[in-house]
Structure 1
Amino acid sequence: MYFRRIEELRIDNDKTQQEIADYLNCQREVYRRYEKGTREIPISYVILLAKYYNCSVDYILGLSNRKQIK
């Protein structure tokens, strides 16, 4: 589920895969695989993405449908 969420968040924020890969300090192809669900994303990246998008880790992981942190 997380792979759909990280793609959705990226698109909603008008970011490219390359921009997010640069933020995470990884290659674009590696990040693309996270979005497609063919590679497991490290929890440290999930935390960084939650901070970047100002949402909860639970939202990214599909444990909550509440996007914004209160």
Structure 2
Amino acid sequence: MNRLKALRKEKGYTQVKMQMLTGIDQSDYSKIENGKRYFTLEQLKRIAVALDTSMDYLSGLTDERKPYPRRQS
């Protein structure tokens, strides 16, 4: 999960801030970030939105950080 940690630090966010932005408990987020636990699809979506990137980038499927255009709700 090097990309996840690198993006979080780049944004200047702490794991507690990520908890507030995503609703994922800080201890669970830490385990995800350190590769001790896998994220669910819903968690991946929330993290991608919080870090302004794509789910594909976070999961290593692309090197393009830019998020996809989002639908207006």
Question: TM tier, shorter chain?
Answer: 0.7 to 0.9
1:66 maps to what in 2?
Answer: 64
Q: Runs of 5+ in structure 2 lacking a partner?
A: 69-73
2:21 maps to what in 1?
Answer: 23
Q: So what's the TM-score if we normalise by structure 1?
A: 0.85
Two-structure CA RMSD over aligned residues (Å): 1.3
2:42 maps to what in 1?
Answer: 44
Q: Runs of 5+ in structure 1 lacking a partner?
A: none
Q: CA deviation at 1:9?
A: 0.9
Larger radius of gyration: 2
The sequence identity of aligned pairs, in percent, is 22
Q: So what's the TM-score if we normalise by structure 2?
A: 0.82
Count of equivalent residues: 68
One-letter identity of the residue aligned with 2:47: L
Give every structure 1 segment of 4 or more consecutive aligned residues whose post-TM-superposition deviation is greater than 2 Å: none
> What are the Cα deviations for residues 42-61 of structure 1, in whole angstroms up to 9, with x where unaligned?
11111112122221111000
Q: Distance in 2 between matches of 1:66 and 1:34?
A: 21
> What are the Cα deviations for residues 14-58 of structure 1, in whole angstroms up to 9, with x where unaligned?
000011012222321111000000011111111112122221111
* Structure with the higher fraction of residues in helix conformation: 1
Which structure carries more relative contact order (alpha carbon 8 Å, separation 6+)?
1
